[in-house]
Amino acid sequence: MEKHEWRKEEKALYFPNAKLELQMIPSMKYIKIKVWEVQQIICFKRSEAYRSKKLENCGTIYFKGVISVTIYEIEVTTDTGGKYPLSDYEGKVMLIVNTATKCGFTPQFEELEALFQKHKDEGFVVLGFPSNQFKQELDSGHAAAEKCRLDYGVTFPMHELTNVNGAHEHELFTYLKDHSKGFLGNSIKWNFTKFLVDRQGHVVERYASKDKPSSFEDDIIQYLKK
């Protein structure tokens, strides 16, 4: 196994003969691995255990990476700028949604809020993450959240504008996509993709934009009982 040193002045690690870069995220909690050939972004928590990853056109690269990381270690930012870890919702069933206020699916806010109100006392929470990657959102997460509250009576937590795909995607959406059964590595195709996370922090369901929240209420109830 080749040994590699951190270039501290660059906060990056380079492997020879491979178009691959490991870069520290500012929080110093995660290592971001970018594979230039396939434009793939993966985030791992730092760990002393070694793991290998087969990379297209790069052979097998060995690196210090994560053996296990939970969704609760990921930090998110509210629409007003407050930061908190998702461990605040540990033990709850979470429905995480990339939202937009100028989309044909925007009326889904009504059903999302209805589900939240109906099941919040049982340990259910909806988390909205506005994103303008599909060019259907306002200029800030706060503006988007205020419109949702005014037009749809939204009371569940809303967050800052968030990238859900690409080089600057938030590590939460990297995690959700990588841990969705049957959707490993799939990009998010449109607004209102919905991820259901159980009380143990496992991503148990992924729903498409067209899937109305009310259509999978039975799934939510099932995981609330566990």
Give me the active site residues, please.
103
β-strands 124-130, 93-99: how paired? parallel
SS3 121: helix
**DSSP assignment letter at 158:** B
Give the helix/strand (H/E) hosting 44.
strand 40-45
Beta bridge partners of 197: 94, 203
Backbone angles phi, psi at 3, to 5 degrees: -100, 140
Helix (H, G, I), strand (E, B) or coil at 6: coil
**What three-state secondary structure class fits 145?**
helix
